Structure 1
């Protein structure tokens, strides 16, 4: 069961890692970052609703309380991470932004220790430190020279949103299925990003020029579809399912492999090189996750039994229902 959770989380990291090349291909063809994020979230909402309707249309009928929870989930755990990342890299290097964002496991470990009284073992802490050190090597944070207080503030918000994703995806009884939670969450996330566009914080620019992937000119719709289906729908669903099986702490550490997968995908699709230091960093990430697992991270049952009112039209099974976004973000 927990082995399945780890593999689902690795698959989530792999799917997330392809978002960089897909998004860059669109931006190089004339799309603005805001346009890419909005199209990504809105498209993911449509796909998730279609999947949920095909599997069980009744599941889309949720209680008002669950809609409010999904709104909080979408705005804090999804839109905040996506929007603030792009706002951060406008005045901060990508390497430093990623490094700040991937401090999320520390926040998760601290929250579970202080709030849920789940004290991490020494091996878990050592594994987290090793995995974070590996992430530093992979993204070459020390090669960055840009420093901006504004950028650091946006990156810190992105990191907090990232931590909230892990904590809010902890399973509890009486919540909708993962795909329904994600569908409603994506709707509110897209609305939030759209509001940023209206206020002028995000520039919404779309284009239909060909996009370049792996040195090939491709229709713009192809990288967009891949970004929506693989790097958003599959990535979030696997991540949510992973948290439900192995808990927030181990999931947040396993997802650090995204930076390694991101380097590999950029090498395959964008022609960027991979250094020995980055490979060493990847080994540190994998080793850190393994040490944290030996230290007991993910060993405790992450399922939270709670008594919550549910919609009469859809009463989910307590063992098969994931994330209720009313946990922590």
Structure 2
């Protein structure tokens, strides 16, 4: 009885910690959009803002990653493929695809397509590992998707582009890769090491794309305006790197390793709601009532997904 109680308490503690990390990650990622928009309004190109963000994060995380390795450099050699795929697809590829998508279509539509990633994760786990989703999991996905439609206010209709849709689907694949790769614990690679390595490779990849003219690359030292107040350009750059990348990726990996890729990917939908709140505070873009209702639907969807996972674990 004592052993069973201890295991239950340990599982509950792992779930609580995982949810806490997931919410922190979603909030951190959600802050990136408003900060980047301020920078781009001040003259930064999107690729330059993203590269600065992830390279700064890599610099911040590198010392911690070295300490976590404790001289076990063989871990890097054994997991070189994982780090490379994570950096090029889950970091650089996802960001590059998303910005190309918004160049051809409305941002809301691109986000909606990208955030169908949890459905892709569920399908991957079903097809690749035989983890068939239950009815509650499917119902939670429908609720969350419906909430995203309301949060992104797409009911009034939006122009779509085939090219934009293809880029957005590529970004969705990058997000799905992020959750699936982050959930792996059998490689012995600390979360911070995976994040630092992936961010470094992703940042270098974006720099190479800029060097060859694939993406526009420009920066500016002009003041950046948020909520009618001007701040020095380096403040949002530091926040992008430390908060929306370093903190976001580490907590995201920690959450996924505790919750699993399926549940973590659904909790991450809170990023859209967080982005709306930060846009309201920093850019004066107040959410509408329909968007608040959508946020509540997202929360309900996450709860239903968790109930579905619990039922699957008992069967």
Give TM-score scaled by structure 2 length.
Answer: 0.91
Cα distance between partner residues in 2 of 1:243 and 1:94:
26
Alignment pair present for 1:220 and 2:207: no
Aligned pair in 2 of structure 1 residues 144, 188: CA closer, same or farther (>3 Å)?
farther
* Structure 1 residue runs without a partner (length 5+): 302-329
Between the aligned partners of 2:256 and 2:139, the Cα distance in structure 1 is 21
Q: Give SS of 1:176's match.
A: coil
Q: CA deviation at 1:184?
A: 0.8
- Aligned-partner Cα distance in 1 for 2:173–2:199: 18
User: If each structure's helix is expressed as a fraction of its own residues, which one has the higher value?
Assistant: 2
**CA deviations over 1:142-185 (Å, ceiling 9, x no partner):** 34532211111111100011011111112232332111111111
1:230 is aligned to: 243
Secondary structure of residue in 1 paired with 2:225: strand
1:71 aligned residue: 84
User: In structure 1, what is the equivalent of residue 10 of structure 2?
Assistant: none
User: Given that residues 43 and 219 in structure 2 are in contact (C-alpha distance below 8 angstroms), is that contact kept between their aligned partners in structure 1?
Assistant: yes
SS at match of 2:230: strand
> Aligned residue for 2:218?
205
Instruction: Report which stretch shifted further, 3-12 or 98-107.
Output: 3-12
User: Is the deviation greater in 15-24 or in 146-155?
Assistant: 146-155
What does the per-residue CA deviation read over 1:239-265, in whole Å, with 9 as the maximum and x for residues that have no partner? Answer: 111110010111111111111111111
Asked whether 1:51 is paired with 2:64, we answer yes
Shift of 1:52: 2.4
How far 1:199 sits from its partner (Å)?
2.9
Alignment of 1:1-329 (within 5 A): 1-53=14-66, 58=71, 62-296=75-309
What is the distance in 2 between the residues matched to 1:293 and 1:215?
A: 41
- Cα pair distance change 1:221/1:193, threshold 3 Å: same
Determine the structure 2 residue equivalent to 1:322.
none
CA distance in 1 between partners of 2:267 and 2:50 (Å):
24
CA apart distance, 1:296: 1.6
TM-score by length of 1: 0.87
What is the distance in 1 between the residues matched to 2:108 and 2:156? 8
Ranges in structure 2 where 5+ consecutive residues have no aligned partner: 1-13
Q: 8 Å contact 1:123–1:292 — kept in the other structure? A: yes
Q: Report how far residue 57 of structure 1 moved.
A: 5.1
Take 1:186 and 1:18, find their aligned partners in 2: how far apart are those partners?
A: 18
| Kept after mapping to 1: 8 A contact 2:58/2:200 | yes
Q: 1-side partners of 2:240 and 2:313: how far apart?
A: 34
Greater shift, 85-94 or 172-181, is seen at 172-181
The verdict on how the C-alpha distance between 1:140 and 1:169 changes in structure 2, with shifts beyond 3 A counting, is same
What is the deviation of 1:192? Answer: 1.6
Q: Are the equivalent residues in 1 in contact too, given 2:79–2:187 (CA < 8 A)?
A: no
